[in-house]
Amino acid sequence: MTDAELRAAALTSKAWPFEEARKLLKRYPEGKPGGAPVIFETGYGPSGLPHIGTFQEVLRTSFVRRAYETLTGGAPTRLIAFSDDMDGLRKVPDNVPQPGLLTAYLGHPLSRIPDPFGTHESFAHHNNAMLRRFLDRFGFDYEFVSASERYNSGAFDAALRAVLRHWDAVMAIMLPSLREERRRTYSPVLPVSAKSGMVLQVPVSVIDAEAGIVAFDDMGERVEHCIFGGRAKLQWKVDWAMRWAALGVDYEMCGKDLTDSVTQSGRIAQVLGQRRPEGLIYELFLDERGEKISKSRGNGLTIEDWLRYGSEESLGFYLYREPRSAKQLHVGVVPRAVDEYWQFREKLPVQPVEQQLGNPVWHLLRVNGRREAEEAGLPVSYGLLLNLVSVMGAGASREQVWGYLANYIDDPRPEAHPALDALVGPALAYTRDFVAPTLHRRKPDAGEAAALAALDEELAASDAGAGAEELQAIVYAIGKDPHYGFESLRDWFKALYETLLGSPQGPRMGSFIALYGVENTRRLIAEALAP
């Protein structure tokens, strides 16, 4: 397709990244003034290590960024990954060494606290480095910006001066949103105490907006203090608005829990002379019980968990879909996401352009500048691979798995099928941790035993090279035979799964028998029929 055809399809595509990107097209119908790049931003709080929420926000923002570039034929853009590392430490995270070291620095800016890991100049510097390695690992195109660097260097001084100039207007926006008790002590500016080094939450009076001078009480003494050069930071909602103004942010998305913050920060940004950025408010993740995921409760799923049992592409695929709908995020969703990713990937080359733009894989490929997938599809679905490994047992090895795959695919070498080989390890781990402990093969009843014996006879008589479709026909024929008393094929397949695989659900049996091997399947039947 030509670029013109692609842009024409993108202008009417209902895929959510294009819907979001068209907001920016409406914002700048003639392009951003002076040919300046459109600025996308994501935020990170370095009081903890990067997690799946960090990943999804950068990924989803990148989807919109690439969609905008497609709509405009390559208009310039930038993605800023902003670290709010001037925040005061509120509590000591559970997953760090030397927690006592951090306890002594509660309330201090994260960038001025010793690194408990002993590798960087501060706790924030350590976590910022983790963030950059994290984003680099997935190939994101971004620019890292640190709040502490911008505050300390004076780069935010002009924006801070604007806040002091518009103090009354900012207070008029913020105070009605606060409880009465909080109103009495609220200040948009949080000075960093020259005495204790802590970020102070105290009432503040503006003395000289142009010079950045404010007054407040510090340890019982009334002091006048310049807030420039890293000697203060702003309260969260004001800080967000100031950042939008100082960096010229045009697009930033956030979770549903920040809906009110977006409204108030947007109003403050207008006071500071900056139009509120466009953005998507996305739903939050839920655990397997439908409860909101909480880092402190540990009821979520980490990036490492997902990649232990699935693939990077499947995670991206899962995060792409329906961002405005709450989704469960637990290990049980991983296998289906892997297979659905490959189903969409196989469709992509044969789809017309309009359907390609609605295919999540089209967007995933373009996040890192690619246009074509290296492999068209998997010769064996992940679900079928999991069924194979579960029957083999928790102690199966990678080499043994590939030995069975030789029954099903041509050229059964790992190097010939790298995407499938990359899933063998996750399949072994998933089976070991979640499948094997739950398997229980029940004994068949009389009717089921007769049907299994008939299946064994048919398999024994089948051609040596029988494929999945021929084997599936054999299974179907037995299940439909009224002699065995199954009310439906579903009952027959359920019996096969429970007696042969030890699970209430399972694969397409013809494909499984072809993969596992006829003789191996007959051994499973013999075990099920043994007294």
In this prediction, residues 274-294 reach a mean pLDDT of 87
Report the chain's mean pLDDT, rounded to a whole number: 93
Closest CA to 315 of 299, 327, 298: 327
Residues 35 and 112 both lie in one domain: yes
- The pLDDT assigned to 372 comes to 74
Same structural domain, 92 and 147: yes
Residues 113 and 261 in one domain: yes
Helix (H) or strand (E) holding 38: strand 38-44
Regarding whether 479 and 432 lie in a shared domain, the answer is no
My answer on whether 34 and 88 are in the same domain is yes
Q: Half-sphere exposure (CA, 13 Å, Cβ side) for 498?
A: 13
What is the C-alpha separation between 67 and 32, in angstroms, rounded? 16
Asked if 139 and 258 sit in the same domain, the reply is yes
Give me the CATH number covering residue 42.
3.40.50.620
Give CA 489 to chain center in angstroms: 39
φ/ψ of residue 78, rounded to 5: -135, 145
Domain final residue pick, 411, 438, 465: 438
**What SS3 state is found at 315?**
helix
Q: Tens digit of pLDDT for each residue in 213-234?
A: 999 999 999 999 999 999 999 9
Mean pLDDT along residues 183-198: 95
> Do 173 and 264 form a contact (C-beta atoms < 8 A)?
yes
Q: Does residue 217 sit within a domain?
A: no
In a domain, 181, yes or no: no
Q: Do 22 and 92 fall into the same domain?
A: yes
Query: Residue for token digits 């951003």?
Result: 32
CA pair distance 450, 448, nearest whole angstrom: 5
Point out the domain boundary residue: 367, 393, 414.
367
Same domain, 430 and 485: no
188 assigned to some structural domain: no
Q: What is the pLDDT of residues 301-341, one digit of tens each?
A: 788 899 999 999 999 999 999 999 998 889 999 999 999 99
For residue 108, being part of any structural domain is answered with: yes
d(CA 63, CA 323): 12
- Please tell me whether residue 195 adopts helix, strand or coil conformation: coil
How many CB atoms within 10 Å of residue 505?
A: 11
Least confident of 97-101, 139-143, 242-246, 349-353: 97-101
Please indicate, yes or no, whether residues 31 and 112 belong to a single structural domain of this protein. Answer: yes
CA distance 501 to 391: 6
d(CA 35, CA 201): 41
Number of domains in the chain: 4
State the pLDDT confidence band at 7, using cuts at 50, 70 and 90.
Answer: very high
Please state whether the predicted TM-score (pTM) of the whole model is above 0.85.
yes
Does 357 share its domain with 386? no
* Nearest CA among 214, 243, 208, 251 for reference residue 231: 214
- Residue 224 resides in a domain: no
Length of the chain: 531
**Co-location of 337 and 426 in the same domain:** no
Tell me what pLDDT residue 100 has: 87
What would the pLDDT profile of 20-57 be if each residue is shown by its tens digit?
999 999 999 988 999 999 999 999 888 776 778 888 99
The confidence score (pLDDT) of residue 297 equals 55
Name all contacts of 443-448 with Cβ < 8 Å and 24+ positions apart.
443/499, 443/528, 444/495, 444/499, 444/528, 444/529, 447/484, 447/485, 447/486, 448/484, 448/495, 448/499
Would you say the C-alpha torsion 240, 325, 140, 309 has a positive or negative sign? positive
The per-residue pLDDT for 393 is 86
Among 367, 391, 423, identify where a domain stops: 367
Residues 347 and 450 in one domain: no
Sign of torsion over alpha carbons 259, 264, 159, 201: negative
Residue 185 included in any domain? no
Distance (Å, rounded) from C-alpha 431 to C-alpha 447?
30
Query: In which domain, by residue range, is 333 found?
Result: 285-367
Nearest to 123 by CA among 95, 143, 142: 95
Whether residue 219 is contained in a domain is answered as no
Element containing residue 390 per DSSP (H, E): helix 382-392
Answer whether residue 298 is part of any domain.
Answer: yes
Tell me how far apart the alpha carbons of residues 9 and 396 are, in angstroms, rounded to a whole number.
48
3-state secondary structure (DSSP) of residue 530:
coil
Residue-by-residue DSSP string for 228-250: -TTSEEE-HHHHHHHHHHHHT--
Smallest Cα–Cα separation from 458: which of 443, 441, 442, 472?
Answer: 472
Grouping H, G, I as helix, E, B as strand and the rest as coil, residue 21 is helix
